[in-house]
Structure 1
Amino acid sequence: MKKYFIQKIPFVVPTTDGKVIEEHHGLATTNNKEISIAHMIAPPGWSEPFQTPEFDEYTYIIKGKKQFIIDGTTVILEAGQSIKIERNVRVQYSNPFEEPCEYIAVCTPAFSMDLVHREA
């Protein structure tokens, strides 16, 4: 039995907002409920509704900048920086900048629409 798995075909999550989401490990790809790892590109002007997820989310910025509003505090990360946002904290993710933002997101437990609790 193999002791490793190389992900060659990530699941591309369908989106309507121009954001690219490639899940490498998680519920959609490997049925892993404990962790999800995704490569993402947020286009300029992109934003999501506020949410209060039931998972910790780690973000590492590869290129560009990303804005986070965390319990009313605005934080901007640049390439080479990372952040951990605790579960059950109200947060909004956006890219109000002029260039795309490329980043890696890791969620524990794995990202699930049932756990993200996005506001309408």
Structure 2
Amino acid sequence: MLAPRVRDLVAAVAAALPDGGAELRAQLVAATVADGGATHLDVTVPDESPRLEHPDGPLPTVATVVDDAGELVGEVQVWVRDGLMVGVEQTWYGDTPPTGWPDLAHVRVG
């Protein structure tokens, strides 16, 4: 199972997809973490899950991360392969990587 913060982030990305991300939201129910940490998660979902109609790679939705002052500090990307979510990645701008996943209040999806 994905941690609540990560689930919320992926759900926000799904909601911004053209069709509301129904397939991605359905995958969230059974998604598990295979490996990862504070900046990258390898995710597995059952093969029988509904599949996204999207080429392999990151989804086009931009989820930017801001600090308390509203300054841009990074992004969150959701990766898919063969229509299934395979990863969640957090990039950062600066020298110090994040130590955890951002709260949804610090994320702007669009």
Q: Same fold (TM over 0.5)?
A: no
Report the TM-score when normalising by structure 2: 0.26
Which has more helix, going by share of residues?
2
Which has more strand, going by share of residues?
1
Structure number with larger C-alpha Rg = 1
